[in-house]
């Protein structure tokens, strides 16, 4: 049994962490940090936790709380953890950060795309990118884990086997991604109001979205040389879910069997990736779960391939992946606490 604390517990990802960790046999929650709701009962903020969580939120006194826990989840905005993290803190507990603070190895790229100065670039070399299906061995022993987000997880996993096996030209990769509104967080914003989002769909961050360099960096590692992509996100009127549709030029002679074999090679034994034989993923089929559904179609007429992936942005795209990473870090069964079936309808 280990003890865990959550910073940013009243955001959507923090709320999902609480839900998942309550069902984990090996974890006890020790504290829930929320600047906005310090002193208030957690179950008064998220009433679905009545009779399940009898804890008050505490203020942001993280360094003083570390003696109580083995692991800290920081479901916080960019810049928070990087601004406070010290060697002394890392000696007391392991950190799983759900922000982008430690995902990019090049501090100049981080500062350019996120528009803030990095507070602790000295920790970037040791931080491990927490995509278990690609970095499981590195995750086991790290004390600082950079948990990927929803767009990046879905985009990277959908393309990774074909990039790794050099079946496509990755510099022709075009990614269009759809996200539910919860991906924008719980904070009040005019553009996320019901009347602004309902019965509409829109692209945003066109050619400028800050997850672009993260996707490029990870696919570059897989390919063995720099990769440049087009990534366009879209907001659609649903609560949860990410759906990506990716197209790329096939290398000469690549067959459908080659593509299928590549996916099977890398994901055939991965519990949380479901390969759809000719089918197209749907967000409703992964909602509430830690699964990623992936399918593909070849277009012989154009010599391109269409790749499709779907996940729940709050689970595999945030909190569920963080719990999966924690399980690896502490030697638990990887799907412990993550056996929730997708919710249908």
pLDDT at 186: 84
**Do 53 and 34 touch, CB atoms closer than 8 A?**
no
Instruction: Check whether residue 307 and residue 162 sit in a common domain.
Output: yes
Mean pLDDT to the nearest integer, 201-219: 97
Question: Strands, DSSP E only, in the chain?
Answer: 2-7, 27-33, 71-74, 94-97, 128-129, 144-146, 174-179, 202-203, 230-235, 242-249, 273-275, 292-299, 304-311
Alpha-carbon distances, residue 173 vs 52, 212, 249 (angstroms): 45, 12, 7
Residue 188 above 80 pLDDT? Answer: no
Q: Residue 28: beta bridge partners? A: 3
- Residue 190 in any domain: the answer is yes
Same domain, 214 and 111: no
In this structure, are 116 and 205 located in the same domain? no
- According to the model, what pLDDT value does residue 185 have? 86
Q: Residue 142: CB partners within 8 Å, gap ≥ 6?
A: 94, 126, 127, 128, 329
Q: Are 114 and 134 part of one and the same domain?
A: yes
302 and 324 assigned to the same domain? no
Confidence of residue 345 (pLDDT cuts 50, 70, 90): confident
CA-nearest of 90, 93, 96 to 70 is 93
What was the pLDDT predicted at 205?
A: 96
DSSP letter at 5 equals E
Q: What are the tens digits of pLDDT across the range 88-138? A: 999 999 999 999 999 999 999 999 999 999 999 999 999 999 999 999 999
Q: Are residues 88 and 194 in the same domain?
A: no
Instruction: Name the phi and psi angles at 30, rounded to 5.
Output: -105, -35
Residue 191 binned pLDDT confidence (cut-offs 50, 70, 90): confident
pLDDT digits (tens, 9 = 90+) for 279-326: 999 999 999 999 999 999 999 999 999 999 999 999 999 999 999 999
Q: Tell me: do 128 and 161 sit in the same domain.
A: no
Q: How far apart are CA 38 and CA 4, in angstroms?
A: 18
Domain of residue 254 covers 151-312
Asked whether residue 337 is assigned to any structural domain, the reply reads no
Q: In what order do the strands lie in the sheet with 2-7?
A: 27-33, 2-7, 71-74, 94-97, 144-146, 128-129
Would you say residue 57 lies in a domain? Answer: yes
Residue 341 belongs to some domain of the structure: no
Q: Which residue has the tokens 């959507």?
A: 12
Question: Does some domain include residue 95?
Answer: yes
Among candidate residues 127, 10, 151, 165, the one with its CA nearest the CA of residue 77: 10
Domain count, the chain: 2
Paired sense of beta strands 27-33 and 2-7, if any: parallel
Same structural domain, 185 and 291: yes
Q: pLDDT grade, residue 234 (50/70/90)?
A: very high
> Per the residue annotation, which of 150, 195, 280, 285 is the catalytic one?
150
Residue 345, in any domain of the structure: no
Kindly provide the b/e burial profile for residues 250-288, where b requires at least 16 CB atoms within 10 angstroms of the residue's own CB. beeebeeeebeebbeebbeeebbbbbbeeeebbbebbbb
CB 321 within 8 A of CB 290: yes
Query: 334 in a domain, yes or no?
Result: no
Residues 174 and 293 grouped into a single domain: yes
pLDDT per residue as tens digits for the range 141-162? 999 999 999 999 999 999 999 9
Same domain, 156 and 300: yes
Considering only 52-61, 165-174, 327-336, which range has the smallest mean pLDDT?
52-61
For the domain that residue 171 is a member of, what is the CATH number? 3.30.360.10
pTM of model > 0.85? yes
In a domain, 335, yes or no: no
CATH number assigned to the domain comprising residue 39? 3.40.50.720
pLDDT digits (tens, 9 = 90+) for 22-78: 999 999 999 999 999 999 999 999 999 999 999 999 997 888 999 999 999 999 999
Q: Are residues 155 and 302 in the same domain?
A: yes
Q: Is 57 a catalytic residue?
A: no
pLDDT for res 342: 95
Q: Are residues 22 and 104 in the same domain?
A: yes
Structure tokens at 316: 């595999």
Instruction: Please give the pLDDT value at position 76.
Output: 96
């Amino acid at each position: 049994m280990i003890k865990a604390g959550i910073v940013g517990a009243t955001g959507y990802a923090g709320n999902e962490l609480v839900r998942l960790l309550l069902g984990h046999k090996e974890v006890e929650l020790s504290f829930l940090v929320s600047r906005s709701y310090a002193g208030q009962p957690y179950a008064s903020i998220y009433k679905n936790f009545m009779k399940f969580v009898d804890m008050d939120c505490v203020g942001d006194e993280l360094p003083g709380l570390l003696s109580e826990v083995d692991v800290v989840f920081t479901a916080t905005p960019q810049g928070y953890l990087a601004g406070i993290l010290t060697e002394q803190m890392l000696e007391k507990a392991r950190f799983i950060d759900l922000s982008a603070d430690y995902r990019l190895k090049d501090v100049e790229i981080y500062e350019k795309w996120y528009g803030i100065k990095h507070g602790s670039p000295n920790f970037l070399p040791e931080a491990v990118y927490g995509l278990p299906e690609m970095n499981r061995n590195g995750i086991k022993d790290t004390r600082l884990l950079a948990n990927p987000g929803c767009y990046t997880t879905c985009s990277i996993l959908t393309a990774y086997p074909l990039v790794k096996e050099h079946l496509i030209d990755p510099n022709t990769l075009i990614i269009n991604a759809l996200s539910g509104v919860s991906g924008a967080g719980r904070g009040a914003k005019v553009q996320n109001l019901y009347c602004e989002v309902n019965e509409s769909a829109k692209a945003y961050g066109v050619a400028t979205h800050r997850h672009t360099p993260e996707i490029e960096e990870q696919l570059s590692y897989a390919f063995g040389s720099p990769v440049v992509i087009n990534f366009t996100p879209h907001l659609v009127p649903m609560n949860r879910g990410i759906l990506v549709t990716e197209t790329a030029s096939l290398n000469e002679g690549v067959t459908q069997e080659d593509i299928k074999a590549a996916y099977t090679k890398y994901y055939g034994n991965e519990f949380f990736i479901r390969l759809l034989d000719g089918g197209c993923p749907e967000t409703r089929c992964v909602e509430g779960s830690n699964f990623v559904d992936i399918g593909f179609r070849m277009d012989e007429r154009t010599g391109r391939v269409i790749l499709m992936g779907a996940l729940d942005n709050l689970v595999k795209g945030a909190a569920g992946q963080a719990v999966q990473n924690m399980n690896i870090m502490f030697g638990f069964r990887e799907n412990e606490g993550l056996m929730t079936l997708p919710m249908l309808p």
